[in-house]
Structures are given as structure tokens and as C-alpha cells.
């Protein structure tokens, strides 16, 4: 194989009760990347469409992820990477993760698949480290594996792909304000009450049981977060109104995507997800902050090959 064009999905991390452990991949929101072999050794980012992002390999999340993988392979040739960014950096739906995961996935494919998708997570995490200072896996894992993923542990790294019911759809609203990941992490308390902890892991248990039994009611009841949402939602103007409107429209649950500012809702069925989009739109039109809305089925497979040659 000489080249490949892939779709790299946007992702929602910090799914309500699953702060830092649960993420999910989207189907109709994502970047496109093209990777091709060249005769000039090394990794080069040749083009980025849609965003102002550094082209230098070591300063680019895709470059860093590719270098991490290459460091464990025997390959003396060269790779060119083009990225068409459709996910806005800073939106909270895994923009850097899509690029990092895509680079690891595409390079792996060109090298004849020395690694499986699970094994690619740790290379993609190196891109996340460049982007946010922390080698977190909660966006790159769903980007690579698809569906809902659980990062059970970092030491050792243990990522589990969970069952994902077919009728799950996400509605995402991206208020065009800047919330820095570092800031939104800083405002979290380093301690929580045991009582809130118990509620949180009860809900994580309920959510995962609901995903396996495809019990949308249980999923809905479990989409609660008593720890992070009350704090981080203060950084998102109109959050309570958004949540109230989506719940009223019949969403299964609502939460902050990643570290914000995007807000997600999960719904059963595409019609309901579109109604929730309407509810988001009505509720946010009065806030005075520009916004974008996406509706997407949950992506079951993760990164997809669009073309290869």
C-alpha cells in the first residue's frame, strides 16, 4: 500500500459520570487525513486545511503520534501527512485526538498493520500529551476503537471497548467561546466526598450495564454527574438552560463534552436527536454566543478507511 485516506471521528470524553474514563466516537463529525509513502525519510506534515496548526512534525499532534509509532518499527522510508481539519481545535470534541489517532492508524496501515487498534492507543496518547500536557486516552481510545470505550487504568494502560446500542445518537452544541483544558482542570477540586464518589461509581456501573443490555432507560437514569458538571458548567454560559431544554425534548442525558465548551446530549433514535438539536438551538439563541450544532449517530468502528492505493 502506498497511500490511504481516512475519516478520523470527533469524540466525546468525560461522558457524565464517567469523568476521565468514558468516551464515545461520532459518525458524521470528523477530520479527513491522507498519508502516503515517499522516498524522503521521516514524517512530514505537508498540508493542513481548515485550521492554523504548526506543520513542524515535533510540534504537531499527528507528527508526534506518528513518530512514537515509527520509533517501534523498522521503516527507513518517508511518510507525508495531509490533514483536513473539520473539528475545531478547542471545541471539546477531540480535535487533537482525531489527528493523533488518525496519524497512528494511517501509518500503521501503510506499514502493514504491525499493531492492532488497541495497541495504537498509546502512540496516539503521545499526540494528546503535546496538545494538553497530559497523555490522556479518553478521546483517542474511542477515535481508534469506535463506540463507547472505558479507560479502566493507565498503569498499566487498559482500554476496553464497550457494547454500544445501535439506536444511540449524539447532539452536540459548540458555543464559540474558549475554555482552556488546563483552566477547566484547575477549577476542579482535588478531593471529593466519599458519598459523591459512591453515587458516581454507582452511575458508572448503571451506565455500563445499560450499554450491554441496551436498556435506554437505565442509560438515561445513569447519565448523572454530581462531581464535575456542577463545577465546570459554570464556565459555559447558558448551560442549565441547554440541559433543561434537551431533557424536556426527551434526551436520555446531557453533559459537558470533554472539558467543554461543547455540550452533548445522547438520545434514542435520530429523530429524537434532531428534536434535541432544535431544543438546543432555541435555548441558545437568546444567550448571545454564536454556536454550531452537530447531530451524529454513534460511530461503532472508529477511524474508517475512505480510500487506499
The catalytic site residues sit at 128, 181
Work out whether 286 is an interface residue with a second copy (CB under 8 A).
no
At which residue does the C-alpha cell 469506535 appear?
A: 146
Work out whether 218 is an interface residue with a second copy (CB under 8 A).
yes
The interface region with a second copy, picked from 159-167, 173-181, 243-251, 296-304 by CB under 8 A, is 159-167
Answer for which of 49, 187, 192, 271 binds a second copy (CB under 8 A) is: 192
Work out whether 193 is an interface residue with a second copy (CB under 8 A).
yes
Q: CB pairs under 8 A, 24+ apart, for 241-250?
A: 241/283, 241/284, 241/287, 242/173, 242/280, 242/283, 242/284, 244/283, 245/279, 245/280, 245/282, 245/283, 246/171, 246/276, 246/279, 246/280, 246/283, 248/279, 249/275, 249/276, 249/278, 249/279, 250/275, 250/276
Work out whether 182 is an interface residue with a second copy (CB under 8 A).
no
Answer for which of 33, 93, 98, 150 binds a second copy (CB under 8 A) is: 150
Cα 301 to Cα 142: distance, rounded to the nearest angstrom: 9
Answer for which of 206, 238, 255, 260 binds a second copy (CB under 8 A) is: 206
The interface region with a second copy, picked from 23-31, 51-59, 145-153, 298-306 by CB under 8 A, is 145-153
Q: Are 59 and 43 in contact (CB under 8 A)?
A: no
The interface region with a second copy, picked from 165-173, 215-223, 232-240, 298-306 by CB under 8 A, is 215-223
- Cα distance from N-terminal residue to C-terminal residue, the chain: 6
Question: Which residues make up the interface to a second copy (CB under 8 A)?
Answer: 17-22, 150-153, 158, 160, 162-163, 188-195, 197-206, 208-209, 212-213, 218, 221-222, 227
Amino acid at each position: 500500500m502506498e497511500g490511504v485516506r481516512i475519516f478520523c471521528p470527533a469524540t466525546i470524553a468525560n461522558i457524565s459520570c464517567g469523568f476521565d474514563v468514558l468516551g464515545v466516537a461520532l459518525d458524521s463529525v470528523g477530520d479527513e487525513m491522507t498519508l502516503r509513502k515517499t522516498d524522503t525519510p521521516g514524517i512530514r506534515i505537508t498540508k493542513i486545511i481548515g485550521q492554523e496548526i504548526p506543520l513542524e512534525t515535533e510540534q504537531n499532534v499527528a507528527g508526534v503520534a506518528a513518530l512514537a509509532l515509527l520509533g517501534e518499527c523498522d521503516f527507513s522510508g518517508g511518510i507525508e501527512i495531509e490533514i483536513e481539519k473539520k473539528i475545531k481545535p478547542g471545541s471539546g470534541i477531540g480535535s487533537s485526538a482525531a489527528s493523533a489517532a488518525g496519524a497512528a492508524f494511517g501509518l500503521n496501515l501503510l506499514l502493514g498493520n504491525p499493531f492492532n487498534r488497541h495497541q495504537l492507543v498509546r502512540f496516539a496518547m503521545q499526540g494528546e500529551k503535546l496538545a494538553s500536557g497530559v497523555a490522556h486516552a479518553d478521546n483517542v481510545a474511542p477515535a481508534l476503537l469506535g463506540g463507547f470505550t472505558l479507560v479502566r487504568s493507565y498503569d498499566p494502560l487498559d482500554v476496553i471497548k464497550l457494547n454500544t446500542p445501535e439506536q444511540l445518537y449524539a447532539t452536540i452544541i459548540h458555543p464559540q467561546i474558549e475554555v482552556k483544558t488546563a483552566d477547566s482542570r484547575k477549577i476542579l477540586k482535588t478531593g471529593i466526598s466519599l458519598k459523591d464518589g459512591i453515587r458516581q461509581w454507582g452511575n458508572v456501573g448503571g451506565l455500563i450495564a445499560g450499554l450491554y443490555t441496551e436498556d435506554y432507560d437505565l442509560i438515561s437514569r445513569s447519565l448523572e454527574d454530581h462531581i464535575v458538571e456542577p463545577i465546570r458548567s459554570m464556565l459555559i454560559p447558558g448551560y442549565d438552560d441547554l440541559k433543561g431544554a434537551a431533557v424536556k425534548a426527551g434526551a436520555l442525558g446531557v453533559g459537558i463534552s470533554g472539558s467543554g465548551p461543547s455540550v452533548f446530549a445522547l438520545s434514542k433514535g435520530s429523530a429524537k436527536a434532531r428534536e434535541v438539536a432544535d431544543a438546543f438551538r432555541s435555548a441558545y439563541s437568546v444567550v448571545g454566543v454564536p454556536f454550531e450544532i452537530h447531530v451524529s449517530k454513534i460511530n461503532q468502528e472508529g477511524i474508517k478507511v475512505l480510500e487506499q492505493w
